[in-house]
Amino acid sequence: MKPGPKIARRGQRAPIRRGGRPTKAEAQFVEDRILAAAAELFAKDGYAATSVERVASVCGAGKDTIYRRYPSKRALFDAVLGRSRSRIIARLDDIESHNPEHGSLTQLRDLTSCLLDINLDPELVAFKRIALSEMLVADGSCAAPEPDAIMKLLRSRIMQAQEDRHLIADDPSFLTEHLINSIIVGPTTLAMFGFKPLSSVQERQSYFDKAWKLFLGGAGSDR
């Protein structure tokens, strides 16, 4: 069996070859270290206090190496957010792949419960706080945001539960927004303001069970 890919770790430098272009594995190793260091610094110290120079110092890559990949600090922060989103999607996909036999309503419940956990993760809370409080504007760019893959996934699960007649036949986009607002937004907002809501597993589970029941009370099918 072939060994799996090596994971970049703090304090560990990418293997150096003499001459020639770096391999894909080496380039990925460097990129992983840059983004891991940037994520840690942005989450711990905030956007303004995190410089490309500090990221370079922590990850062991040259400043020029970082700028070749990310032409500005904003581009670096966007890449950190993209990395975070990709990990969230992978985690949600993993939940679904491990429970393919579950019914559509149970899959929606599991997905929503996982999203609550994710949105209360301290690193993600820090990133959201940066994006909100710093009001980051993309260097004069007016590019439209990409469609939210997480909302699309939730909407598809809502539609499947509707098809199976577990939920009312209402606008699935409205139900998706209602689900997010009724279960996730409240605790996430408290976390954004520096509180630590639902800090224990028991508290979080008790809250989720009650909130889920209320959601079904409004959106559940009467069949």
Give tens-digit pLDDT for 107-145. 999 999 999 999 999 999 999 888 877 654 444 444 444
Arithmetic mean of pLDDT, 29-57: 94
Q: Decide: 165 and 190 in contact? Cβ < 8 Å.
A: no
Same domain for 122 and 201? yes
CA angle centred on 38, ends 34 and 39, rounded to 5°: 120
Is residue 168 within 8 Å of residue 105, measured between CB atoms? no
pLDDT given at position 8: 45
Residue 76 resides in a domain: no
Is pLDDT above 90 for 198? Answer: yes
Mean pLDDT of 177-197: 94
Domain boundary among 70, 97, 115: 70
Looking at residue 215, its pLDDT comes to: 96
Which helix (H) or strand (E) segment holds residue 165: the answer is none
Evaluate if residue 146 carries a pLDDT over 70: no
**For residue 223, pLDDT beyond 70:** no
Q: Return the minimum-mean-pLDDT range out of 86-90, 196-200, 203-207, 215-219.
A: 86-90
3-state class (DSSP) for residue 72: coil
| Chain centre to alpha carbon of residue 58 | 23
* pLDDT tens by residue, 55-94: 999 999 999 999 999 999 999 999 999 999 889 988 888 8
SS (H, E, C) 111-141: HHHHHHHHHCCHHHHHHHHHHHHCCCCCCCC
Residue 207 lies in a domain: yes
Which residue range is the domain that position 131 belongs to? Answer: 81-219
Indicate whether 14 pLDDT > 50: no
Q: Are 65 and 87 part of one and the same domain?
A: no
Mean pLDDT, residues 190-200: 92
Are the C-beta atoms of residues 26 and 17 closer than 8 Å to each other? yes
The CA distance from 212 to 210, in Å, is: 6
Q: Tokens 């036949």 sit at which residue?
A: 169
Beta-carbon contacts of 158 under 8 Å, excluding residues fewer than 6 positions away, are: 108, 167, 172, 175, 176, 179
CB atoms within 10 A of CB 57: 13
Query: Which residue type occupies 54?
Result: R
Instruction: Write the CATH number for 59.
Output: 1.10.10.60
Question: Sign of torsion, CA 101 178 159 157?
Answer: negative
Domain count, the chain: 2
User: For residue 11, is pLDDT > 80?
Assistant: no
Would 3 be classed as within a structural domain? no
Q: Kindly indicate the confidence band of residue 172, based on its pLDDT and cuts at 50, 70 and 90.
A: very high
